[in-house]
Amino acid sequence: MEIYVKKYLQLVLEENKKQNLVSRKTTLEDLEQHIQDSVQVLEWVSLAGQAAIDIGSGAGFPGLVLAMFQPDCRMTLVESDLKKSTFLQNVKKELGLDNVRIIRTRVELLGQDIEHRAGYDLCTCRAVAAMRVILEYGLPLVKPGGRVLLWKGSSYQQEIAEAQTALQVLGGKIDGVYQYNLMHDKDRTIVAVRKVHPTPAQFPRKVGAPTKKPL
């Protein structure tokens, strides 16, 4: 595993010179912390044998990293940006990650695609948008009983409060809050949302609507 991680970090640093996968100021130590942040969820949730989907994968945190550490998980990475999705394809090839699939599209479209809607056990998302927005992206994609796992910081309680309408409308319920510390960030949280009812057919709405008019 150490060899895979080292190679992955090398690929991220090289690509980051060409495009902003992460901040230009990001160091190797920063990337190592991103990996720690990604795999922290495995302390509480097993992805073994699960079909998972990661929204807004970017450089691969957390979805690609979780696929590396949990090879018996079937991981779909969703990234709409051409350069970033191409990078993810290259990493998959370089590391031989047969359990990874990359899809370049907008997640709002995927949620209305019969092949993907209610097709996953888990949905992961790290630092993409507010919770009530991500829930409209993620809950349509997971099966009833499945969970959406959201990486958040110290303001998670406010985000939960703001997401009450989205939870009710989309069929979700807060299932757990996992708090932990990292070396340079002592207030990290993963919020688990379980899908307790089917999501109404009109969600997710058309591209851009969840961010412009959050539930």
pLDDT digits 0-9 by tens, 148-165: 999 998 899 999 999 999
pLDDT of residue 183: 73
Three-state secondary-structure class, residue 100: strand
Torsion of CA 189, 57, 5, 75, to 10 degrees: 90
Three-state secondary-structure class, residue 192: strand
CATH code assigned to 2-212 = 3.40.50.150
Write the pLDDT tens digit of every residue in 194-207: 999 999 999 999 99
Residue 176 has pLDDT above 70, yes or no: yes
pTM of the complete model? 0.96
Region 136-156: mean pLDDT is 96
Q: How far is CA 21 from CA 13, 15, 16, 161, in A?
A: 9, 7, 5, 31
Write the pLDDT tens digit of every residue in 57-103: 999 999 999 999 999 999 999 999 999 999 999 999 999 999 999 99
Angstrom distance (rounded) from CA 183 to CA 203: 38
pLDDT of residue 184: 67
Residue 185 has pLDDT above 80, yes or no: no
pLDDT of residue 142: 98
pLDDT of residue 25: 80
Residue 20 has pLDDT above 70, yes or no: yes
Region 48-62: mean pLDDT is 97
Confidence grade of residue 1 (pLDDT, cut at 50, 70, 90): confident
Confidence grade of residue 15 (pLDDT, cut at 50, 70, 90): very high
Mean pLDDT of the chain: 95
For tokens 């009450």, name the residue: 164
Write the pLDDT tens digit of every residue in 97-129: 999 999 999 999 999 999 999 999 999 999 779
